[in-house]
Amino acid sequence: MTMPSGRRTRLSPDERREQLLDLGVELLAERTLDELSIDLLAEKAGISRGLLFHYFKNKNDFHREVVKRAADDLIKRTEPNPDDDALTQLVASLQAYVDYVQTNYDTYLLLVRGAGGGNADLREIADNTRAHMAARLVESAAKMGIPATDRAQLIARGCLAFAEEIVIAWVPDPKIERDDLIASLSRSMLAIISEFSPPEVDLPAELPFEN
Amino acid sequence: MTMPSGRRTRLSPDERREQLLDLGVELLAERTLDELSIDLLAEKAGISRGLLFHYFKNKNDFHREVVKRAADDLIKRTEPNPDDDALTQLVASLQAYVDYVQTNYDTYLLLVRGAGGGNADLREIADNTRAHMAARLVESAAKMGIPATDRAQLIARGCLAFAEEIVIAWVPDPKIERDDLIASLSRSMLAIISEFSPPEVDLPAELPFEN
């Protein structure tokens, strides 16, 4: 995304703020959060430093909003199509997830691990993102007949961590093919779901993967 | 563990160092790493601050060695009995793992998440610990007929993250019974192992859990 440098645009303050956040996410892809300064954003957006403080209270506020935008992005891009059946949803979500992590590796690492640095805001964003995605998985499993019990919710969190760890390890060192990765993730999760599905539920016997 | 305060003991330097590390791990259970000072260790061990620097180069060195000791502890306590069959090994390891995390919650969090703070030593210890436990899981799976391929190694890492996330969430807020937790972890992992086992391998049909 490029922004018209120094040219006046007719955006509303809200639209302008959204645009600045998009720019922030874009800039974050190539640097650490520490390096993402208000000065840099002002320069790249072609507006004054003073004006930026109209949109963001301070640097921390700006950082939090940028990371939150990145998290919202991940959630949106992996959102399953509600018209699809549960299996298609699971596989499509995993594919979108792997694509997201591959394209936004450093941002994703910041999103899920940066919180370890003691920044409470980042930790909260990471927790909320995981909670949202886990809730979505529980919903998908419910479509396959698994009641949304406390156990199902715990297992869903575990499944997310499972996928997270594997994809984070895979991207910088892809020892297996992408298709094998997606199939392995899907099959593992389905195996877990099957293990906890009540006997009367018929899970898809034919998975869309080779062995 | 208590140490005879101020009394001279006939330990060798190595034995003394081991004892100091044990004391360090014990002290760490009730405070953060930052709060674990050389002064405190000297006081609790009843020896002089100067003498401690005979055993540890500096505070960072001391911290690294204490965390490493805690990690070794976890590895040792979850070590499966080589005479057991693979299923028994898996369940026993998971039980020991849950016990360890329950008893040493804060230390365990430091072990697996503290590395996010940018301390390269802690990150290395965490990585090595996970690598060791993943290798052990791959070995166990090999006993069940799963070849130790790149895929198996990725999945083993994922399984560890799966268990880690679930147990970390469970300990402070145990919404399900401990037995249910162990059974859920074991069944999930076995489901994954079964999914990837070649068809000629007979996995135990009767698991030692209720549904």
Distance CA B76, CA B191 (A): 26
Please, are residues B200 and B146 in contact by the beta-carbon 8 Å criterion? Answer: no
For chain A, list residues whose CB is within 8 angstroms of any CB belonging to chain B: 113-118, 150-151, 154-155, 157-166, 169-170, 175-176, 180-181, 184, 187-188, 190-192, 194-196
Least CB-CB distance to A117: which of B117, B163, B184?
A: B117
Give residue B211's pLDDT.
42
Chain A positions touching B187 (Cβ under 8 A) are 195-196
Say whether A97 sits in a helix, a strand or coil: helix
Nearest to A187 by CA among B110, B17, B155, B184: B155
Distance CA A87, CA A93 (A): 10
Give first-to-last CA distance, chain A, whole Å: 41
Distance CA A138, CA A89 (A): 12
Q: Answer whether residue B144 shows pLDDT above 50.
A: yes
Chain A positions touching B181 (Cβ under 8 A) are 154
Least CB-CB distance to A150: which of B160, B175, B188?
A: B175
Which residue on chain B is closest to A166 by alpha carbon?
A: B158
Q: Answer whether residue B158 shows pLDDT above 50.
A: yes
Least CB-CB distance to B157: which of A116, A150, A169?
A: A169
Give residue B113's pLDDT.
78
User: Does B116 sit within 8 Å of A175, measured CB to CB?
Assistant: no
Mean pLDDT calculated for residue range B48-54: 92
Chain A positions touching B127 (Cβ under 8 A) are none
How many residues are given for chain B? 211
User: Does A187 sit within 8 Å of B191, measured CB to CB?
Assistant: no
Query: How many angstroms from the chain centroid is the CA of residue B8?
Result: 33
Give residue A117's pLDDT.
59
Mean pLDDT calculated for residue range B115-124: 75
Give residue B63's pLDDT.
93
| A11-37 confidence digits (pLDDT tens) | 888 999 999 999 999 999 999 888 999
Low-confidence ranges of chain A (pLDDT < 50): 210-211
Which residue on chain B is closest to A210 by alpha carbon?
A: B196
User: Does A155 sit within 8 Å of B184, measured CB to CB?
Assistant: yes
User: Does A187 sit within 8 Å of B151, measured CB to CB?
Assistant: no
Distance CA A139, CA B147 (A): 34
Distance CA B114, CA A80 (A): 33
DSSP result, A106-169: HHHHHHHHGGGGS-HHHHHHHHHHHHHHHHHHHHHHHHTT----HHHHHHHHHHHHHHHHHHHH
User: Does B196 sit within 8 Å of A195, measured CB to CB?
Assistant: no
What is the CB neighbour count within 10 angstroms for residue B29?
12
Nearest to A109 by CA among A165, A69, A57, A148: A165
More confident residue, B121 or B202: B121
Least CB-CB distance to B154: which of A158, A176, A187?
A: A176
Least CB-CB distance to A161: which of B150, B165, B190?
A: B165
More confident residue, B200 or A154: A154
- The C-alpha of A78 sits at a distance from chain B's nearest C-alpha, in angstroms, of 20
Its ipTM equals 0.87
Q: Answer whether residue B87 shows pLDDT above 60.
A: yes
Please, are residues B84 and B92 in contact by the beta-carbon 8 Å criterion? Answer: yes
Give residue A211's pLDDT.
42
Please, are residues B166 and B98 in contact by the beta-carbon 8 Å criterion? Answer: no
Lowest-confidence segment of A139-148, A163-172, B32-41, B198-207 by average pLDDT: B198-207
Q: Helices A150-170 and B178-196: crossing angle, nearest 10°?
A: 40
User: Which pTM was predicted?
Assistant: 0.87
Distance CA B139, CA B156 (A): 10
Which residue on chain A is closest to B197 by alpha carbon?
A: A211
Average model confidence (pLDDT) across chain B: 88
Query: How many angstroms from the chain centroid is the CA of residue B29?
Result: 14
Give residue A46's pLDDT.
93
| B6-23 confidence digits (pLDDT tens) | 555 578 889 999 999 999
Q: Helices A38-45 and A13-28: crossing angle, nearest 10°?
A: 110
| A125-146 confidence digits (pLDDT tens) | 998 999 999 999 999 888 888 8
User: Does A154 sit within 8 Å of B175, measured CB to CB?
Assistant: yes
Nearest to A161 by CA among A141, A140, A188: A188
Give residue B10's pLDDT.
77
For chain B, the C-alpha Rg in angstroms (whole number) is: 20
Give residue A174's pLDDT.
97
As to burial, measured by CB atoms within 10 angstroms (0-12 exposed, 13-18 middle, 19+ buried), residue A205 is: exposed
How many residues are given for chain A? 211
Please report, for residues A74, B5, B28, B51, the alpha-carbon distance to residue B40 in angstroms, rounded to integers and kept in the order given: 45, 13, 11, 13
Give residue B11's pLDDT.
84
Chain A positions touching B117 (Cβ under 8 A) are 116-118
- Nearest 5°: CA angle at B77, between B72 and B82? 110
